[in-house]
Structure 1
Amino acid sequence: MPHIILLGTLDTKHEEVLYLYNQLKKTASRFSHPLQITLIDCGRQPIADDAIAITHTDLMTKYAGDNTEISKLSRGEAIEFLIACVESCVRDLLKTNDIHGIIGTGGSGGTSLISAVMRAAAPIGLPKLIASTVASGNTGPIVGECDITLMYSVVDIAGTNQLLRDILDNAAGAIFGMASAYEHRLEDQKASGALQKSSGRKTRVGITMFGVTTACVDCIRNHLETQYPVEVYVFHATGHGGKAMERLVEEDRLDAILDITTTEICDLVAGGTMSCDTDRLEMMLKKGIPTIISVGATDMVNFGPMDTVPLQYQKRKLLVHNPTVTLMRTSSDECQKVGEFIVQKVCQFSRDPAKVEVWLPRGGVSLLATSGSEFEDQQADAILANTVQLGLKESKTRVVSDDRDINDSGFAIDIADRLMALIPLMKQ
């Protein structure tokens, strides 16, 4: 029997959330399939309804902690406070119950609350869906690095007109289907778990990639999958890609990392559109899993269409990658800052420096940085490499300076083999 958590602010969306609740029940009954729903009231004011499994009062009593009077908080403060309460509640439910899906609906405030809870409390892979008024537009802050599915409500979540009913019907059907599939998948995984234990689980390797490092990563992936018992996870280094990889490291779902493409650090340094957070690189270093860091695509910063490039950068070396992405060549100063970022993270957070290496492809850090290519700048690339080498000179982290470019097949195979040589250290 699938078990779905339903989140909603019932003090403002009572009718709409209850309609979604009833549609979930109807959907299950149409398929003669039992369904358990745990409705959590995430609103600021208590609402009485028999459908509510965890009331506002329950949340305040068990999770408020410091007896905060929510009525005295501003709207923004109240949402942050409720996020913390609901997050703790959902974490507890996931620990004590088999949960197969989470769904919610709301406007901007409700979506902010529901999505924050989903990102923080629910593991990647567990179905998550929000029917929202803000599901069309800049959804990056809502989804983050997680697998949240958004369904645009078209009209506001206000009343239950026929169009909104249609949308919520679809949402109920979607989460019911996903939750049912997830439940069956868990059963299959349990059944295959014994076989994996007897035959040995594959090593799970995370790799970061960009279009200009694709040749390298494809070669690595092919080599690892044909020569070793490895399962490869490739992450597109667009800002959220690095976050997603590190989220899986945190959840112990990756065993080793080839951080080939660290271009997101360039966007952090220069204010590009595909920036990582300031804690990039930290999670795998803290975990102490085998990690090789390289400097793929550190020759570029990402912006939107050409007319969106900030004024201070308009005289820099720019390249239209496609109609929605303009690349800017990193300067010597920016490359130095990228190198300093890598050094600082490795020195400060490496739990086991013997399992960490940094590889520097001196022949070019991307398809565009090789000799004669659009972003060739040997001086800038050398400054980055030299900053890393000098900064890690007294550390226990091995730095490999290689004359080949990053997409050279020999470089790719060598770095892949070296990562696998570090794997046995996991058992020591």
Structure 2
Amino acid sequence: MSKIATVVIIGTCDTKLQELLFLRERVEETAGGVQTLLIDVGRNRCAHNAIAIPQYELLSTFGRGKAKGKDAIADLTRGEFVTLMTDCASQAVKGLYQQGLIHGIVCAGGSSGTALSAAVMRDVLPVGFPKLIVSTMASGDTRPIVGETDIALMHSVVDIAGLNPILRDILSNAGAAIASAALSYAARRNKKRYGAAEESESMKKWRVGITMFGVTTPGVDAIRSHLESNYPVETYVFHAVGTGGSAMERLIREGQLDAVIDLTTTEICDHLFGGVLSAGEGRLDAAVETSLPNIVSLGALDMVNFGPRNTLPEKHEGRVIYEHNPTVTLLRTSPDECREIGAFIAQKLSKTKRPDMIEVWIPKGGVSMIAVPGGPFEDQQADKALFEAVKSGLSGSGIKIVEDDRDVNDGGFAKDVAEALVAKLGLQKI
């Protein structure tokens, strides 16, 4: 049978060869025609005819002189070796992907194998490419593994150290899952290449990213409805919980979005003031760097997010607190914090080479559903500090600022924000 999909298996063959070979057999027995490509990232050389890219080949081809032989890696610490092999494996997988030779990737391993393979998957392969890790580390805080990508995790329950009935079942499920995903991916790619990709330009839908939080959901829903009902647009909504903003930044850089309505910039608060939902220092950068049409607003900048009430840092006691639910506690941003937030936004946006591609919309009636008049986070002094910092920081930048008396969830405000983006895209109604 002609094989129509190829799955990369990454693993440490010096310690887990038996388990990796079992996984390989399960992938290849899947109906439909799937072959595997086993990459050995183990510390010690391992000889087996099932290994497509052995460890020494990775080092000699991609080691860049850092470690090209057995003696050269002997003195590396465990961490140094994992870093080196991550770089080598990333280069190998990147080349295979760019040539269109692979359609899925899977790893089975412990903490080091998981860290290595996850880095390869995150840094090399785009969102939408099938990625699966079977790991002892797949239960607990998995954010360091998954990051902002779509890596699927399967908990191995028992350690990947010797085949037993439980591990056989789990590896069999993993093999079937990644094989089926790879077949689906290969079929979709071929369809795009030979079929749907030939659709006329008039059928194109513009891909618009929108950021949302619970307290800005009505506004985002109104924007989505207006855009998708009236224009050739499909929306991608990102939950602004740290990974959401990071994912949007990544997709912008990958060329998978055409425009942005950054209605909910709340992750900046968490980055600056120690909240639990930070998207990091790079928030707002991608759209500016790529000059995408970008409507920015100030949604949910009235809050810093923490976990359950008893996890709130003691230094914040006595301030305005709102328990959103049993697992989320919100801290109202102060006037001084709002000035810092506004300055951060202005500094980021001012770097643009295309100020005509950016507009900043200020919802003076409330930046969230709980910051409106009479709401628990109403604070006119803090709002004023935020708005003035944004305006002052963008003075002379050429970026248009729209001050609007409505709140961020107002239906009219949402429609006007949507139309502002439509104007930048030059869209006609459908």
Output the TM-score relative to the length of structure 2. Answer: 0.95
**Which residue, out of 14, 17, 20, partners 2:17?**
14
Cα shift readout 1:281-309 (whole Å, capped 9, x = no counterpart): 11111001101111100111111111111
Q: Quick one: structure 1 residues 385 and 66, their matched pair in 2 at CA, closer, same or farther if it must change by over 3 Å?
A: farther
Residue equivalent to 1:301: 304
For residue 337 of structure 1, report the CA deviation from its aligned partner.
1.4
Residue equivalent to 2:144: 141
Residue equivalent to 2:50: 51
Q: How does 1:65-104 map to 2 (within 5 A)?
A: 65-68=64-67, 69-104=72-107
Q: How does 1:188-227 map to 2 (within 5 A)?
A: 188-227=191-230
1:105–1:130 CA contact under 8 A, matched in 2: yes
Deviating beyond 6 angstroms after TM superposition, the runs of 4 or more aligned structure 1 residues are none
For residue 198 of structure 1, report the CA deviation from its aligned partner.
4.5
2:34–2:183 CA contact under 8 A, matched in 1: no
For residue 199 of structure 1, report the CA deviation from its aligned partner.
3.0
For residue 234 of structure 1, report the CA deviation from its aligned partner.
0.5
For residue 181 of structure 1, report the CA deviation from its aligned partner.
1.7
For residue 236 of structure 1, report the CA deviation from its aligned partner.
0.4
RMSD of the TM alignment (CA)?
1.4
**Paired residue type of 2:377:** F
Q: Answer yes or no: is 1:35 the counterpart of 2:37.
A: no
Structure 1 residue matching 2:46: 3-state secondary structure: coil
1:287–1:351 CA contact under 8 A, matched in 2: no
For residue 200 of structure 1, report the CA deviation from its aligned partner.
3.4
For residue 71 of structure 1, report the CA deviation from its aligned partner.
2.4
**Which residue, out of 129, 132, 147, partners 2:135?**
132
**Which residue, out of 305, 314, 318, partners 1:315?**
318
Residue equivalent to 2:417: 415
CA distance in 1, matches of 2:74, 2:47: 18
Residue equivalent to 2:158: 155
CA distance in 2, matches of 1:24, 1:140: 27
Residue equivalent to 1:169: 172
CA distance in 1, matches of 2:141, 2:12: 23
For residue 129 of structure 1, report the CA deviation from its aligned partner.
0.5
CA distance in 1, matches of 2:195, 2:375: 49
CA distance in 2, matches of 1:178, 1:351: 41
Q: Quick one: structure 1 residues 140 and 194, their matched pair in 2 at CA, closer, same or farther if it must change by over 3 Å?
A: closer
CA distance in 1, matches of 2:354, 2:195: 33
Residue equivalent to 1:368: 370
Cα shift readout 1:3-29 (whole Å, capped 9, x = no counterpart): 111111112222221221122123x2x
Give the count of matched residue pairs: 420
**Which residue, out of 267, 277, 299, partners 1:274?**
277
Cα shift readout 1:384-408 (whole Å, capped 9, x = no counterpart): 1100100101111111111111011
2:208–2:260 CA contact under 8 A, matched in 1: yes
- After TM superposition, the structure 1 stretch with the greater mean CA deviation from structure 2, 177-186 or 243-252, is 177-186
CA distance in 1, matches of 2:8, 2:400: 47
CA distance in 2, matches of 1:262, 1:174: 36
CA distance in 1, matches of 2:197, 2:310: 56
Residue equivalent to 1:404: 406
- After TM superposition, the structure 1 stretch with the greater mean CA deviation from structure 2, 63-72 or 98-107, is 63-72
**Paired residue type of 2:8:** I
2:362–2:403 CA contact under 8 A, matched in 1: yes
Percent identity among equivalent residues?
50
Residue equivalent to 2:286: 283
**Paired residue type of 1:102:** I
CA distance in 1, matches of 2:319, 2:187: 54
Cα shift readout 1:220-265 (whole Å, capped 9, x = no counterpart): 0000011111111111000000111111111111000000000000
**Paired residue type of 1:299:** D
**Which residue, out of 357, 360, 364, partners 1:358?**
360
Structure 2, unaligned runs of 5 or more: none
For residue 172 of structure 1, report the CA deviation from its aligned partner.
0.5
- After TM superposition, the structure 1 stretch with the greater mean CA deviation from structure 2, 181-190 or 87-96, is 181-190
